[in-house]
Amino acid sequence: MIRNNSFTRFAGPFFVLLCAALLVWCGSNFADAQGMGMATGNGQAAPAKPLPPGMKAPVVDYRDIAAQAGLTGINVSGATKNKQYIIETTGTGVAIFDYDNDGLPDIFVMNGGRLDGGLAPTHYLYHNLGGLKFEDVTAKSGLAHTGWGQGVCVGDADNGGNVDLFVTQWGQNAFYHNLGNGKFRDETKERGLASPQRRWSTGCAFIDFNRDGFLDLVVAHYIEFDPSKTPRPGDKSSCQWKGMPVLCGPRGLPAETVSLYENDGHGHFKDVSDQLHITTPKNYYAFTPLTGDFDNDGWPDIYVSCDSTANLYYHNLKGKGFEEIAGPSGVAYNEDGREQAGMGVSAGDFNHDGLLDIFKTNFADDTHTLYRNMGDNNFEDATIDSGLAVNTSYLACIIHEGAAIAVLG
């Protein structure tokens, strides 16, 4: 969910800390997520390919050092037990970015909420002190909790030299302007990013789609969610998974679409979703947007991982608009023509051919998906050929090494 496609590598020890911390947050939601009632692909795992002769598998050693590093915040996403609604299971995002320009990556951790009316949890901002030590600076930074957090993306919206935060939520999204003195200010309404109605947004990404030098913003919306109108586990056929009563959704609940906001050059935004053909019929459970120049024409495109519906791929028409071509491009479904429960998504040139490929994680009981970029907006599902179709048991998080990071799932 964080994307400016300007990747730089972190030092090894910090990445160990990062993985240890994120595995705790991602794993805390998985046990409940298995019963969500999401559509799954019933994917069949393929045997793992043997290593080349003489090659040994690397030793993977992750250690949870979050507490000693000062990362002690409690992640809240609905009830601790007996979750009743899908909003309680999707987890929350994380961003890693240098908010104070001291050369050290800091950590922003999203928090959800509670449906029982209990005390609302706060988000967390951890200032990197160096030496794998962090300080909780949430209170003095001004990053107050304003809603049920989901995803986060970072970018310098006004080119002022300080990285701002955009937080997606169930309710109202929030834009936090980085004032450059260690403090942030909620300027959602002033920036034109307030929604006229309550909405459930999931992933987001900053993108300069028209190449005017100012970051625009794409936001994925998941479900039109209202607890008073949503069935409880087992109430409907769509609230069953493998014969068991489970949390309802996403299928059976009202779907959503995607929004694109254009930056006017002063850090203010205008919704141009309809004008530039981003808006779709509300037939999609949009989860995570990914941006990149997938056809090497010099203009950044937008791919959206969708849950239990076809994925979306918006080809950039030289900054004048977009065309949605996921189906013809081969990235709407897997190689069997099936919709999958898409979660996180990332891009990289895995075969060094100069073209960005797409890797998408899916819900449990399905393989993840690797789309090999063949050029000219054509992709093929290379999951099995590449040896990645070996896991159907886990719901994965996407981790990006670079200027920023986001996890949702």
What's the pLDDT score for residue 2?
Answer: 33
Residue predicted with more confidence, 317 or 387: 317
pLDDT tens, residue by residue, 41-98: 566 777 778 888 999 999 999 999 999 999 999 999 999 888 999 999 988 999 999 9
Whether the pLDDT of residue 99 is over 90: the answer is yes
Q: Average of pLDDT values for 292-315? A: 97
> Rounded mean pLDDT of the chain?
86
What's the pLDDT score for residue 371?
Answer: 97
How far apart (Å, rounded) are the C-alpha atoms in residues 258 and 280? 7
How far apart (Å, rounded) are the C-alpha atoms in residues 203 and 28? 20
pLDDT tens, residue by residue, 262-272: 999 999 999 99
> Going by DSSP bridges, is the β-strand pair 106-109/378-381 parallel, antiparallel, or unpaired?
unpaired
Which DSSP helix (H) or strand (E) runs through 24? helix 12-33
What's the pLDDT score for residue 403?
Answer: 33
Q: Average of pLDDT values for 207-232? A: 96
**pTM score of the predicted model:** 0.86
What's the pLDDT score for residue 217?
Answer: 98
Q: Average of pLDDT values for 114-138? A: 93
What is the share, in percent, of the chain residues with pLDDT greater than 90?
A: 70
Residue predicted with more confidence, 152 or 236: 152
Task: Please name which of 316, 341, 339, 312 lies closest in space to residue 328, comparing C-alpha atoms.
Answer: 312
Residues in the chain: 409
How far apart (Å, rounded) are the C-alpha atoms in residues 374 and 356? 9
What's the pLDDT score for residue 387?
Answer: 86
- Express the helix, strand and coil content of the chain in percent, nearest 5 each: 10, 30, 60
What's the pLDDT score for residue 38?
Answer: 57
24: exposed, middle or buried (C-beta count within 10 Å: 0-12, 13-18, 19+)?
Answer: middle
What's the pLDDT score for residue 236?
Answer: 79
